[in-house]
Amino acid sequence: MSVIDKLVARSRRRSPWLFRLNAGGCNGCDIEFSACLSPRYDVEQTGALLVGSARHADILCVTGPVTRGSLAALETIFAQMGDPKAVVAVGNCPATCDVFAGSPVIAGPLDGLVPVDVFVPGCPPRPGDIIEGIARAVAALPAKGARGGKRDAKRKRGAGKKT
């Protein structure tokens, strides 16, 4: 592992960058996810940051049962994320499709479509449980190997710069 890769791995442990995708949920899990960013739970205090582009994210947080309409977005977002990356299934819907199971418009559950590292159960789960799930995903990242070298390290460093 190069010096750059070691620095990136060390930085990621303290500042995982998150991307959230609602794959057809009812918004209940998204409200709880948003609460994680509120002053009460303040997940950013731990260094975690919600980013607007999957290309900059280390962890993909998915809510909802994955409708057929959201499947292409899920696949594109997952492909855009650099390695190593982790996926957190937030709520019962991505795990089992929950109340949407059996519907002809559902492509889920999530782990049949992309590899899932952490399941956070609940309908919806509490913010504290979501934060714990994110922490478990961060812990899983080192075992997935280094990100793809200097090019990706440069991309992540430059992601926060204004253009």
* Contacts with ligand SF4, residue ranges (CB under 6 A): 25-26, 28-29, 63-64, 91-93, 98-99, 123-124
Q: What are phi and psi of 98, to 5 degrees?
A: 45, -125
83 closest CA partner among 158, 151, 157, 33: 151
Helices assigned H by DSSP within 15-148:
28-36, 68-80, 92-96, 127-140
Residue 105 CB, nearest approach to ligand SF4 (Å): 14
Give whichever of 12 and 67 is closer to ligand SF4, judged by the CB atom: 67
CB crowding 45-60: b at 16 or more within 10 Å, else e:
eeebbbbeebebbbbb
Give whichever of 82 and 124 is closer to ligand SF4, judged by the CB atom: 124
Residue 25 CB, nearest approach to ligand SF4 (Å): 3
Residue 107 CB, nearest approach to ligand SF4 (Å): 15
Give whichever of 69 and 148 is closer to ligand SF4, judged by the CB atom: 69
